[in-house]
């Protein structure tokens, strides 16, 4: 296990690469969902104000 | 040939419900393929005879490089369709490609630097491949910057679409930079005419990673495109129906 | 002949694309030497580089050419493209992938003796990946297949 984590001395390059990639992939999912929620909220406000006028 | 399918895509309610149905069918396999590809690449695959374990960065770097080019091409194509056919849905797709593509392009550049330092002996060199990939990132950022500078959505769509189309010229330059010019960067190992330059034990996880990243991109892009379609069509009666039915589909 | 607005926009987009592609091609042709990341030994021997100019030299480290003086950081080796060869001197740490018979890109300038004084040496690797056992057995097979 220690050998695996060490990556024959390249741990300082391999693990940050993998970690950064996964972090960006997950962040994109979060950002995309947040964008949908905000677009829906905005559309709902629009409908509400449109219904009153 | 019937163009009915094309006109159906152009209909915001149809596209909205399509993305709602399609995204999970792309996203979950993408997650499994990426996890499987990384497990295969980081754990099961043998080390390289020259680069030892440092070569394993290829399992995140090469798929990111592929997605950076694919996402820009798709963005430019969607932008061109949006310009020519005045199609809101196409503009929505183009706008949805940019942030995902830009972030993956940045991943490609940073993982490349983390690979270059131990193997080449430098994080960065003004090598044609590296420079044109950086230009690709700037086109993505320029596209996003231009969009955010224009308040009116349909004007932003048209102006930024021209920039997206102009920048597509850079895509083949990035791909062929290593064959056209002397370069520090090696030639492609998988995206080439001949058989891939590695044995199956290394190749299979890499292909899983390529497919996983590709499906992932489409899944996230479609989720964003759903929001973009909603922004462009707030008045339609279908929006009311969609929002009312929203309870279960977030 | 009348054109539909859609057709007109199509031609506009194609026109922009063609124009940018043409401009890009011309620009890359004009700056060809600036895009070139390194010169190979044949170009250097043919005088492609002005004397005293800093440039990058790229090629293979010639087998058997690497000389290290004991207790010193200075290394000497030769860079070849199998047609011409340029001798290189370098003081500093070599990258992990630097080895004889492998690709290299050195940054520096030629001295008056035609030796290349490098201040940066980068290793270039090829696109082939294989496990160490496979590489070893390929190497063992080499002399036999050569006979």
Instruction: Tell me whether residue A1 is in a domain.
Output: no
Q: Do C46 and C5 belong to one domain? A: no
Instruction: Tell me whether residue A41 is in a domain.
Output: yes
Q: What six digits make up the tokens of B80?
A: 């061109």
Q: Do C43 and C112 belong to one domain? A: yes
Query: What percent of chain C has pLDDT above 90?
Result: 25
Q: Do C115 and C43 belong to one domain? A: yes
pLDDT digits (tens, 9 = 90+) for B52-86: 999 999 999 999 999 999 999 999 999 999 999 99
Please name the residue that has the structure tokens 């499906």: B215
Least confident of A37-46, B27-36, B81-90, C3-12: C3-12
Instruction: Tell me whether residue C143 is in a domain.
Output: no
Touching check for A30 and chain B: CB below 8 Å?
no
Q: Do C45 and C100 belong to one domain? A: yes
Instruction: State how many domains chain A has.
Output: 1
pLDDT band at B183 (very low <50, low <70, confident <90, very high): confident
Q: Do C18 and C57 belong to one domain? A: no
Instruction: Tell me whether residue A34 is in a domain.
Output: yes
Q: What is the mean pLDDT of residues A5-27?
A: 96
Q: What is the mean pLDDT of residues B6-30?
A: 91
Q: What is the mean pLDDT of residues C21-27?
A: 84
Q: Do C49 and C120 belong to one domain? A: yes
Å between A30 CA and nearest CA of chain B: 9
Asked if A40 and B246 touch (Cβ cutoff 8 Å), the reply is yes
DSSP state for residue C26 in the 8-state scheme: H
C-alpha of B88 from chain center: 20
**H or E segment and range at residue C135:** helix C132-146
> What pLDDT sits at residue C145?
38
Domain that holds residue A28: 23-53
> What pLDDT sits at residue B67?
98
pLDDT band at C133 (very low <50, low <70, confident <90, very high): confident
CB contact under 8 A, B189 and C121: no
Asked if C38 and C58 touch (Cβ cutoff 8 Å), the reply is yes
Q: What is the mean pLDDT of residues B156-174?
A: 95
Q: Do C27 and C41 belong to one domain? A: no
- ipTM over 0.85? The verdict is yes
pLDDT band at A51 (very low <50, low <70, confident <90, very high): low
Residue A30: exposed, middle, or buried by beta-carbon count in 10 A (0-12, 13-18, 19+)?
exposed
Q: Do C4 and C50 belong to one domain? A: no
Pairing of strands C116-124, C85-91: parallel
Domain that holds residue C68: 36-124
Query: Could you tell me how many CB contacts below 8 A there are between chain B and chain C?
Result: 122
Report in angstroms the alpha-carbon separations of B116 from B27, B104, B133: 31, 18, 15
pLDDT band at B191 (very low <50, low <70, confident <90, very high): confident
Question: What is the DSSP code string of C66-80?
Answer: -EE-TT--EEEEEEE
Contacts (Cβ under 8 Å, ≥6 apart) of C129? B48, B51, B55, B58, B189, B197, B198, B199, B202
User: Nearest to residue A38, comparing CAs of C131, C6, B227?
Assistant: B227
Instruction: Tell me whether residue C102 is in a domain.
Output: yes
CB contact under 8 A, B118 and C94: no
pLDDT digits (tens, 9 = 90+) for B232-243: 986 678 888 888
Instruction: Tell me whether residue A11 is in a domain.
Output: no
> What pLDDT sits at residue C147?
32
Check which CATH number belongs to the domain holding C40 and give it: 2.40.50.140
> What pLDDT sits at residue C68?
86
Q: Do C45 and C116 belong to one domain? A: yes
Touching check for A43 and chain B: CB below 8 Å?
yes
> What pLDDT sits at residue C51?
76
Instruction: Tell me whether residue A31 is in a domain.
Output: yes
Instruction: Tell me whether residue A50 is in a domain.
Output: yes
Q: CB-CB: which of C24, C94, C129 is closest to B55?
A: C129
Å between B1 CA and nearest CA of chain A: 35
Pairing of strands C85-91, C103-110: unpaired
Asked if B108 and B66 touch (Cβ cutoff 8 Å), the reply is no
Q: Rounded to whole angstroms, how far apart are CA atoms C45 and B109?
A: 35
Burial B3-24 (b: 16+ CB within 10 A, else e): eeeeeeebbbeebbbbbbeebe
Phi, psi of C89, deg, nearest 5: -120, 140
Cross-strand partners of C88: C77, C116
Q: What six digits make up the tokens of C142?
A: 């080499």
Instruction: State how many domains chain C has.
Output: 2
Domains, chain B, with CATH or none: 22-232 (1.20.120)
Instruction: Tell me whether residue A51 is in a domain.
Output: yes
Q: Rounded to whole angstroms, how far apart are CA atoms B37 and B214?
A: 13
Q: What six digits make up the tokens of C87?
A: 């001798």
Query: Would you call C64 helix, strand, or coil by DSSP?
Result: coil
Asked if B204 and B40 touch (Cβ cutoff 8 Å), the reply is yes
What is the pLDDT of chain B when averaged over all its residues?
Answer: 92
Task: Give the neighbours of chain B: at least 3 Cβ pairs within 8 Å.
Answer: A, C
> What pLDDT sits at residue B219?
98
Please name the residue that has the structure tokens 């990946």: C129
Alpha helices in chain B (DSSP H): 4-9, 12-39, 58-85, 88-119, 128-149, 153-167, 170-180, 200-232, 237-244
Q: Do C108 and C82 belong to one domain? A: yes
């Amino acid at each position: 296990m220690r050998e695996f984590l060490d990556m024959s001395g390249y741990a300082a390059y391999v693990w940050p690469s993998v970690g950064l990639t996964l972090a960006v992939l997950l962040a994109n999912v979060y950002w995309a969902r947040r964008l949908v929620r905000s677009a829906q909220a905005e559309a709902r406000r629009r409908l509400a104000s449109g219904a009153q006028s | 040939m019937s163009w009915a399918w094309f006109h159906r895509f152009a209909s915001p309610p149809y596209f909205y419900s399509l993305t709602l149905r399609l995204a999970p069918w792309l996203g979950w396999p993408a997650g499994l393929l990426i996890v499987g590809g990384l497990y295969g690449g980081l754990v099961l695959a043998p080390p390289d005879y020259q680069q030892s374990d440092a070569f394993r960065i290829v399992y995140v770097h090469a798929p990111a490089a592929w997605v950076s080019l694919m996402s820009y091409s798709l963005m430019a194509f969607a932008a061109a369709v949006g310009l020519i056919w005045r199609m809101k849905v196409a503009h929505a797709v183009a706008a949805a490609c940019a942030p995902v593509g830009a972030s993956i392009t940045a991943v490609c550049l940073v993982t490349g630097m983390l690979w270059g330092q131990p193997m080449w002996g430098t994080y960065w060199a003004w090598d044609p491949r590296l420079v044109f990939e950086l230009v690709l990132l700037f086109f993505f950022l320029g596209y996003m910057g231009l969009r955010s500078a224009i308040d009116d959505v349909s004007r932003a769509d048209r102006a930024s679409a021209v920039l997206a189309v102009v920048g597509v010229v850079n895509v083949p330059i990035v791909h062929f930079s290593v064959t056209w010019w002397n370069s520090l960067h090696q030639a492609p190992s998988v995206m080439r005419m001949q058989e891939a330059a590695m044995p199956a034990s290394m190749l299979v996880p890499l292909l899983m990673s390529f497919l996983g990243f590709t499906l992932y991109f489409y899944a996230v892009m479609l989720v964003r495109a759903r929001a973009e379609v909603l922004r462009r069509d707030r008045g339609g009666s279908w929006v009311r129906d969609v929002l009312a039915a929203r309870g279960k589909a977030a | 002949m009348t054109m539909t607005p859609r057709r007109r926009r199509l031609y506009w987009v194609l026109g922009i694309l063609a124009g940018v592609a043409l401009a890009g091609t011309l620009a890359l042709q004009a700056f060809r030497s600036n895009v070139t990341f390194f010169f190979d030994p044949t170009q250097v021997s043919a005088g492609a580089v002005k004397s005293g100019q800093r440039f990058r030299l790229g090629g293979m480290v010639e087998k058997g050419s690497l000389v290290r003086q004991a207790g010193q950081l200075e290394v000497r080796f030769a860079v070849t493209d199998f047609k011409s060869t340029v001798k290189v001197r370098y003081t500093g740490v070599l990258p992990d992938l630097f080895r004889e018979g492998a690709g290299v890109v050195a940054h520096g300038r030629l001295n008056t003796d035609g030796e290349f004084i490098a201040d940066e040496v980068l290793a270039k690797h090829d696109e082939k990946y294989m496990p160490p056992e496979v590489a070893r057995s390929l190497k063992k097979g080499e002399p036999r297949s050569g006979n």
